[in-house]
Structure formats: structure tokens, C-alpha cells
Structure 1
Amino acid sequence: MRSPLFATCLLAVAFACSKKEENKKPIETAAPEATAMVNGKSCYLYAKGRDTITMSLAMNANNANGELIYRLDGKDKNEGTFSGTFIGDTLFADYSFSSEGTTSVRESIFLRTGEVLTEGYGEMEEKSGKMVFKNPRKVQFDAKSIVLAKTDCKE
């Protein structure tokens, strides 16, 4: 026979687990057709000190592709292209880039809020020659993130 104390403990654990889930900010997973983006080209820039990141983003419905260049002080320049899809306000893309003569591919996730794109970060691992997020639902967008602001495109 189970005691009332056991039942109370079980309820407390269930309540604590459900509260923990409420505090997480999940990645938006709205249906692509419900959140179609405007077709065309946009440009974004991050500039702080001697660090710059530039992105040109071409949209066709929810499909996105373009160029992305990282010039971070003290690090090798990464220059390449990306291709991906917006799901809700989140861009999921593969970034193919070259650095020091080596070509690599890594998963990139950006959160769109108004006129800015915030780059997500999290624990990554290599799978089939590509760096991917271990758990895309745990990608973080916070004060440590790089924020690219919309800017005029240079032709």
C-alpha cells in the first residue's frame, strides 16, 4: 500500500519537472507556409572593435541563401555561402566556408527579430563531416550572441 507521503513526493517531482520545462525558450517551429518571408535581398552587419561579420541574404518564400563573412580579430577569416530555410522567425542553414585553405561546413541558426539577426550558439559535434548542434532545441540566443543589424547592401 502506498503512503500519502509517497503520493505527495510524486506530485512534487511531477510539478517541478513541468515547471522546469516552462522556463525553457523553445525554438519556433511554425509551419513555413504560415510565415512566408518577403522575396528579395537584405544585408546585415556586425561591427565591434576590429571584428566584423557581413551577411547578404537572398529570400525566395522561406528559402534563404547568401554569403557570410567572419573577420574576427586574432582568428582566421571565414568566408563562404549558406543555404537554409526560415521556420517561423528562425533561420536554419548550412554554412560552407573556407579558412586557411580548408573548406568546412557547419550548421548555423539565426533568430530574426525585427531588423536584426541573432546568431545562436550551443554545443556542437561533427556528424558526417559537418559540424552540427548536438541539440538544436538548446541553442541559445542571449547577451553572448552575435547580433547582426540590417544595413544597406553594397553592390
Structure 2
Amino acid sequence: MRNLILPCLLLSVIGLQSCKNNEKQKEAAVNPEAEKVVSKECYKAIYENDTLDLDLNILKNGKIKGDLVMKTAASPVKKGEIAGEFRGDTLFVDYTFVDGTNNNATFKNPLALLKRDKQLILGNGTLQTTMGVTYLVKDKPIDFDRVKYKFDSVNCK
């Protein structure tokens, strides 16, 4: 009986310690100080009858959050939020949006924007969907030369 008590006690102490470590990691991930907005940048892209408005909030932890509104001539207005980060001079974000008046369905697409001078260029990349998640294919290059949308810096409202 004594031989069973000591191993059980040891396992329970290790289990409780690992739970405390998980709590500390969660607290660090939800640090409100890291979510503080450091600066704001606004951009607009116009191509033929299409207008795209992009508002970026640069957070203290280096992440990017913001809003993107796509008014294209051929489809309903897409309004949504972006979240991501810069890797080098390229901003990789996930665009979560609703399409037009259908507020019941939410869509999520990855976007890549190259920062060149005071412009952000929306790249064309190969998308792949696996198990309901769409992402940019890593082995395929993203084209930033033959594009429709080049965002110019504008004054924020």
C-alpha cells in the first residue's frame, strides 16, 4: 500500500505543476499591454470601378489588426477584419469577412501585401484549401507585379 501512495502523490504534484505552467502561458498570451495600438495607417486602392479601403492598427507586440472593405463592381461589398504580421517587407494576414448582405456566413481568406515605398501591393498567390482552411501554398511564389490592387497611403478618418 505504501508503495502505491508515493508514486500517486508524485504524479499528482507533477500534474498540478503542469496545469500552473499552462495558466501562466495563457496569461502571457492574453497580455493586454501587448494588444495596445502603437500607430495607425490607412490605405486606399482604386482599380477601374473597384475601391478597397484598408485601415491598419500596429500593435505593441508587432502584430497587425485592422479593417478591410472591398467594394468591387462585380460583387457585393465585402467588409471584414484582418489580423497578421509582417515577415520582412511582406504583410501576411487572414481576412475574415461577410459577403454583402449575407451576415450569417463568415468567410476567411489569407492575403499577402508587399510594402514598397508608401504602397502596399496585394499579391496574387496560389491558394489551397485543406479540411476547410484556406492558405497560401508555401512552395509557390506570390506575384506582386501583375496585380490589380495597389494601396496608396491616405490620411486616416
Structure 2 unaligned runs (5+)? 1-36
Task: Report the RMSD for the aligned CA atoms in angstroms.
Answer: 1.8
Q: Answer whether contact 2:83 2:94 (CA < 8 A) is retained.
A: yes
> Which letter maps to 2:130?
K
Describe how 1:97-112 pairs up with structure 2 within 5 A.
97-100=97-100, 101=102, 102-112=105-115
> Which letter maps to 1:96?
T
> Which letter maps to 2:44?
L
- Counterpart in 2 of 1:54? 53
Q: What's the offset of the Cα at 1:145?
A: 4.2
Structure 1 unaligned runs (5+)? 1-37
| Residue 79 in structure 1 maps to residue 58 in structure 2 | no
- Counterpart in 2 of 1:42? 41
Q: What's the offset of the Cα at 1:136?
A: 6.1
Q: What's the offset of the Cα at 1:117?
A: 0.3
Query: CA offsets, 1:43-97, max 9 Å, x none?
Result: 0001233210000000025210100011110112111001001111111111100
Q: Normalized against structure 2, the TM-score is what?
A: 0.68
Q: Answer whether contact 2:121 2:150 (CA < 8 A) is retained.
A: yes
> Which letter maps to 1:151?
V
**What is the SS of the residue equivalent to 2:120?**
strand
Output the CA distance in 2 between the equivalents of 1:115 and 1:143: 18
Q: Normalized against structure 1, the TM-score is what?
A: 0.69
Q: Answer whether contact 2:46 2:150 (CA < 8 A) is retained.
A: no
Output the CA distance in 2 between the equivalents of 1:92 and 1:49: 25
> Which letter maps to 2:54?
M
| Percent of matched pairs sharing the same residue | 26
